[in-house]
Amino acid sequence: MASIADNPNPNPNQEPEQSIIPVLTVFKNKSILKNIFIVLNNNNDNDDNNNNNDHTLLVGRHPNCNIVLTHPSISRFHLQIRFTPSSRSISLLDLSSVHGTWVSGRKLEHGVSVELKE
């Protein structure tokens, strides 16, 4: 769990707001190869006019992906991550990857969008 540090607490008697940061983990033979922390940045000045729009990231080995993972178990276009700022939600979509995408020990179905829960 991580505290939101750039949101000062106006009431000192209240606990600071807590949030879980979603993590994508790349495994091989039950060993962790990489952890990718997904952080939605609300302080981007360029997004002032796009606050209600979805933001999509592609994850894979292909150089055109937003997040490039150079491991043979990762497909060229492996996963889509969609951020919806208006509802502060993050959803994942497996793009028919060969080795699959796993969330909390469960394999995602190809082509089925799954929203991450806190």
List the CATH number of the domain containing 44.
2.60.200.20
Give the pLDDT of residue 104: 78
Could you tell me the two tokens for 6? 């750039």
> With the CA atoms of 107, 71, 35 and 109 taken in that order, what torsion angle do they form, in degrees rounded to the nearest 10?
-20
Q: Is the pTM of this model over 0.85?
A: no
Q: What residues have CB less than 8 Å from 42, skipping those under 6 apart?
A: 85
CB 60 within 8 A of CB 79: yes
Number of independent structural domains in the chain: 1
Domain span including residue 93? 2-115
pLDDT tens digits, one per residue of 27-81: 767 777 677 666 655 544 454 444 557 789 999 999 999 888 888 888 999 999 9
Using DSSP's 3-state secondary structure scheme, residue 25 falls into strand
- What distance lies between CA 63 and its chain's CA centroid? 19
